Chain A
């Protein structure tokens, strides 16, 4: 049972435009969500997070939106840059129930074209 789903395996965006990556989850106990960026043969690097008490968190070009009623979160990157090309994973955790373990989505490969 995939508790965290990223239904788009890939996304292609023109440089300067907005990239929107989506993530859905099924476990209502999740209360902490993160986005990670990953290059091939490297470990993931943290981008941005949001707790369930918020519906938006912004850090520079990156904004994460959380819609708890829809069990949906999204990552907006604006403006997109060629260096943003990577695989993006959303992850979720229910700290009090799962001891801090992260459940990852399948990833979305973002390609930003010059």
Chain B
């Protein structure tokens, strides 16, 4: 199946710093990628839809200035958590699909811990 690579797998940072997470589709082109967040013992919550060459679409309640998304190419989307705070500590997962009515393939996730 299609492979989505996410890097880094784990980040520990100080409060106030910015963290960039990369998501790559390795063997297919993804015009759309999705970013999810999961808190412990909770569901995966969609944060934003990343569209190649245009602005991301954010879900209600997600601060676009805090979670910067860039989808500069058909194989790469990045999520930057700006001025991270302890409450941003979470498991962030990206995903991509081959197209409408195709299943989503997920990256391996990034565990962010903000001290």
Q: Which of B9, B97, B106 contacts A45 (CB under 8 A)?
A: B106
Residues of B within 8 A of A100 (CB): 32, 34, 97, 100, 104
Q: Count of A-B contacts with CB under 8 A?
A: 57
Are B104 and A46 within 8 A (Cβ)?
Answer: yes
Interface residue stretch chosen among A12-20, A66-74, A101-109 = A101-109
Which of under 10, 10 to 19, 20 to 34, or 35 or more describes the interface residues of B? 20 to 34
**Whole-angstrom distance between the Cβ of B50 and the nearest chain A Cβ:** 12
Interface residue? A99 (CB, 8 A): yes
The yes or no answer to B54 lying at the interface (CB within 8 A) is no
Residues of A within 8 A of B (CB): 32, 34, 36, 41-46, 49, 51, 89, 95, 99-107
Q: Select one of A45, A89, A95, A101 contacting B43, CB under 8 A.
A: A89
CB distance from A43 to the nearest CB of B (A): 4
Residues of B within 8 A of A (CB): 1, 4, 6, 9, 32, 34, 36, 42-46, 49, 91, 93, 95, 97, 100-101, 103-109, 111
- Residues on B with beta carbons closer than 8 Å to the beta carbon of A41: 9, 91, 109, 111
Q: A32-B101, A51-B101 are in contact. Are A42 and B44 (CB under 8 A)?
A: no
Select A46's contact among B1, B6, B107, beta carbons within 8 Å.
Answer: B1
Contact (Cβ within 8 A) B100 A101: no
